[in-house]
C-alpha cells in the first residue's frame, strides 16, 4: 500500500501541468487571434503543424525515458530537470514582441514548439510513473484519481487567477479607446505577467512532485544503444489493439473538451448578453470545481460497473448535455443559470472520465508487458500525452479555422449571424460529436476488470521469477 504522501506528491505533478494545459486549451486561441494579432487561419495552422511535430516528439520522449537509468529512477528525474525550463518557456510563449507581423508569426511558431517540447519532456515521464509506482490495478486508479483531483485544483487556481485578471479589466477602456469586454482586449504585457505567476507556481510544484514520489516497481531495463530494441517496442505498440482503441477514445474526449473550453471566451464576449452576471472565468472555474467532484466518483463507479462502462456512461452524459447548450436562451438572466447547470453536469462527467483514461493506459502497459515481454511504459504513456496534445490541438485548429471560415472579426462590435451560429455550435453540437467518437472506440475496448485481474496475476508470477 503506497503512502498518502506519495499519492499527494504524484498529484502535484498534474497540479502544475494542468494549470498551463487549461490556459492553452481555454485562452491560447483568443490570445493568438485577439492579443498577439495572428489571423485566425494562421493561428489555426500553427496549432495543427506543431501537433505534427508533437506526434513525433511524444513517442521519442517515451523511448528516451524507458532507457533512462539514474539513482532516482527512470521517469522521476525529468520532473526536476525540466521544472525551470518549462516555466521560462511558458512565460515567453505569452509574450508579444513589438515587431512586424512576419517576425511575430515566426516567433509564435518557435515558442510554441519549444513549449510543447518542454511539456513533453516533463509530462510523458510523469505519466509513465503511474506504471512503476504500484503494480496493483485498483491502486493505479487511486493514484490516477489523486492525479486528476490535483489537476483540477491546478485548473481551478489558474482559472481563478484569470478571473481576477478578467474582473480587473472588464468595463474599462483599453489603449485603443474601446470598452474591454473580455481578456482578448487586455494589454499584452498584462497577459505575460499573469502567466508568469502561474509559471513560477508550476516550477515549485514539479520539484515537490519529485521530492515526494518514488518508483517502486522494477521493470526490465531497456537497451540504451542500437535500433533493434526500439523497432521491437514500436512494433509492439503498433500491434497493440487496446492501445489504438483507447487512443481514439482519448482523442475524442479531449477534442470535445478543448473545443467547448476554447469557444467559451468567444461565447461570453459575443453571444451571452448577461455575461456580467457570470463571466467566462467564473464559468470555467465552476466547471473545474465540478470536475474535481467528478474525480472522486471515478473509483467507486468503476469498481461497481468497470472502467470501460464508467467511461462510456460519462461520455454519453457529456454528449447529451453539450447538445442542450445550443437551446440555452442567451438574452435572459434565466439563460445564465441554465448554462451554468449544464456546465456543472458536463464537467462532473468529464471529472469521472479523466482519471479512468490514465488508469486504463496503465492497464494497456501491463497488457503489453505480458504479451510482448518487457515493459515499454514510457512509450505507452507517451501515447496518452500525444492524444492529449493532438486532441487539444485539433480542437484549437477547428475552433480558429471555423471562426475564420464564418467571418469572425475582432474589430466588429457585433459579429455576423453566421459567425454567432458557429460559436454556438462550438459550445454544443461540435464538442458533442467528439464525445460520441470516444464512445464508439470504447465499445470495442477489450480489457475488462476480469481480464486485467488475470493479466496482473500472470505478471506477478513473471516478476518473481
Task: Return the closest-CA partner of residue 7 out of 134, 99, 125.
Answer: 134
Asked if the model's pLDDT at residue 393 lies above 90, the reply is no
Top-confidence range, 131-140, 171-180, 200-209, 452-461: 200-209
Residue 28 falls inside a structural domain: yes
Identify the pLDDT of residue 122: 94
Q: How many domains does the chain have?
A: 1
Alpha helices per DSSP H over 271-332: 280-305, 307-324
- Sorted by sequence, the CB contacts under 8 Å of residue 14 that are 6+ apart come out as 126, 147, 148, 150, 151, 154
Task: Return the closest-CA partner of residue 184 out of 409, 425, 22.
Answer: 409
373-384 confidence digits (pLDDT tens): 655 677 777 766
Q: Which residue has the higher pLDDT, 157 or 50?
A: 157
Residue 177 falls inside a structural domain: yes
Mean pLDDT in residue range 430-459 = 92
Distance CA 182, CA 175 (A): 14
- Sorted by sequence, the CB contacts under 8 Å of residue 178 that are 6+ apart come out as 185
Residue 1 falls inside a structural domain: no
Identify the pLDDT of residue 142: 87
Asked if the model's pLDDT at residue 434 lies above 90, the reply is yes
118-152 confidence digits (pLDDT tens): 998 998 899 889 888 887 877 888 888 898 889 88
Q: Are 361 and 307 in contact (CB under 8 A)?
A: no
197-214 confidence digits (pLDDT tens): 999 999 999 999 999 999
- Tell me the three cell numbers of residue 297: 466518483
List, as one string, the DSSP characters of 333-350: HHHHHHHHHHHHHHHHHH
SS3 state at 73: strand
Alpha helices per DSSP H over 373-407: 377-405
Residue 219 falls inside a structural domain: no
Identify the pLDDT of residue 67: 87
Residue 292 CA, distance from chain mean position? 14
Asked if the model's pLDDT at residue 219 lies above 70, the reply is no
Asked if the model's pLDDT at residue 112 lies above 80, the reply is yes
- Sorted by sequence, the CB contacts under 8 Å of residue 304 that are 6+ apart come out as none
Q: Could you list the residue range(s) of the whole structural domain that residue 103 is in?
A: 8-213+224-464
SS3 state at 465: coil
Q: Are 329 and 364 in contact (CB under 8 A)?
A: no
Distance CA 322, CA 75 (A): 37
Mean pLDDT in residue range 242-248 = 92
Distance CA 227, CA 224 (A): 9
SS3 state at 438: helix
Residue 172 falls inside a structural domain: yes
294-323 confidence digits (pLDDT tens): 988 998 999 999 999 999 999 999 999 999
Asked if the model's pLDDT at residue 232 lies above 60, the reply is yes
Whole-structure pTM value: 0.71
Residue 119 CA, distance from chain mean position? 11
Distance CA 87, CA 91 (A): 6
Task: Return the closest-CA partner of residue 50 out of 381, 401, 393.
Answer: 393
The pLDDT-based confidence of 114 (bands split at 50, 70, 90) is very high
- Sorted by sequence, the CB contacts under 8 Å of residue 224 that are 6+ apart come out as 67, 69
Q: What is the CATH number of the domain that holds 62?
A: 1.20.1250.20
Distance CA 327, CA 140 (A): 40
- Sorted by sequence, the CB contacts under 8 Å of residue 452 that are 6+ apart come out as 137, 363, 366, 367
Residue 304 falls inside a structural domain: yes
Give the up-direction half-sphere exposure of residue 170: CA atoms within 13 A in the CB hemisphere: 19
Mean pLDDT in residue range 74-78 = 94
**Mean of the per-residue pLDDT values of the chain:** 86
Residue 51 falls inside a structural domain: yes
Residue 3 falls inside a structural domain: no
Asked if the model's pLDDT at residue 274 lies above 60, the reply is no
Amino acid at each position: 500500500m503506497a503512502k498518502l504522501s506519495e499519492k499527494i506528491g504524484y498529484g502535484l505533478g498534474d497540479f502544475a501541468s494542468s494549470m498551463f494545459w487549461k490556459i492553452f486549451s481555454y485562452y491560447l486561441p483568443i490570445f493568438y487571434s485577439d492579443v498577439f494579432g495572428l489571423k485566425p487561419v494562421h493561428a489555426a495552422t500553427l496549432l495543427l503543424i506543431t501537433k505534427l511535430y508533437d506526434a513525433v516528439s511524444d513517442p521519442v520522449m517515451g523511448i528516451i525515458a524507458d532507457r533512462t537509468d539514474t539513482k532516482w529512477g527512470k521517469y522521476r528525474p525529468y520532473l526536476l530537470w525540466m521544472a525551470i525550463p518549462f516555466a521560462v518557456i511558458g512565460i515567453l510563449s505569452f509574450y508579444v514582441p513589438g515587431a512586424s507581423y512576419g517576425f511575430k508569426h515566426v516567433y509564435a511558431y518557435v515558442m510554441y514548439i519549444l513549449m510543447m517540447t518542454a511539456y513533453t519532456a516533463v509530462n510523458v515521464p510523469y505519466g509513465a510513473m503511474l506504471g512503476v509506482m504500484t503494480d496493483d490495478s485498483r491502486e493505479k486508479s487511486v493514484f490516477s484519481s489523486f492525479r486528476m483531483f490535483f489537476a483540477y485544483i491546478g485548473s481551478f487556481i489558474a482559472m481563478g487567477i484569470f478571473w481576477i485578471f478578467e474582473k480587473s479589466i472588464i468595463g474599462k477602456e483599453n489603449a485603443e479607446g474601446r470598452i474591454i469586454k473580455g481578456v482578448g482586449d487586455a494589454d499584452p504585457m498584462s497577459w505575460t505577467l499573469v502567466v508568469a505567476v502561474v509559471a513560477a507556481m508550476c516550477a515549485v510544484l514539479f520539484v515537490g512532485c519529485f521530492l515526494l514520489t518514488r518508483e517502486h516497481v522494477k521493470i526490465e531495463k531497456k537497451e540504451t544503444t542500437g535500433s533493434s530494441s526500439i523497432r521491437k517496442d514500436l512494433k509492439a505498440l503498433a500491434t497493440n489493439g487496446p492501445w489504438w482503441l483507447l487512443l481514439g477514445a482519448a482523442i475524442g474526449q479531449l477534442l470535445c473538451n478543448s473545443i467547448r473550453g476554447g469557444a467559451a471566451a468567444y461565447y461570453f464576449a459575443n453571444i451571452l448578453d448577461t455575461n456580467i452576471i457570470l463571466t467566462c472565468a467564473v464559468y470555467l472555474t465552476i466547471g473545474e470545481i465540478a470536475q474535481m467532484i467528478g474525480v472522486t466518483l471515478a473509483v467507486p463507479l468503476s469498481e461497481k460497473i468497470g472502467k470501460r462502462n464508467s467511461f462510456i456512461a460519462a461520455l454519453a452524459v457529456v454528449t447529451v448535455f453539450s447538445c442542450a447548450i445550443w437551446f440555452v436562451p442567451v438574452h435572459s438572466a434565466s439563460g445564465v443559470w441554465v448554462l451554468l447547470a449544464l456546465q456543472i453536469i458536463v464537467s462532473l462527467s468529464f471529472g469521472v472520465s479523466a482519471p479512468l483514461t490514465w488508469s486504463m493506459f496503465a492497464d494497456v502497459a501491463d497488457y503489453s508487458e505480458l504479451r510482448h515481454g518487457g515493459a515499454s511504459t514510457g512509450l505507452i504513456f507517451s501515447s496518452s500525452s500525444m492524444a492529449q496534445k493532438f486532441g487539444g490541438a485539433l480542437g484549437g485548429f477547428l475552433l480558429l479555422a471555423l471562426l475564420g471560415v464564418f467571418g469572425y472579426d475582432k474589430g466588429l462590435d457585433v459579429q455576423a449571424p453566421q459567425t454567432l451560429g458557429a460559436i454556438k455550435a462550438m459550445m454544443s453540437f461540435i464538442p458533442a460529436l467528439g464525445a460520441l467518437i470516444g464512445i464508439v472506440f470504447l465499445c470495442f475496448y477489450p480489457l475488462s476488470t476480469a481480464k486485467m485481474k488475470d493479466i496482473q496475476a500472470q505478471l506477478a508470477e513473471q516478476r518473481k521469477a
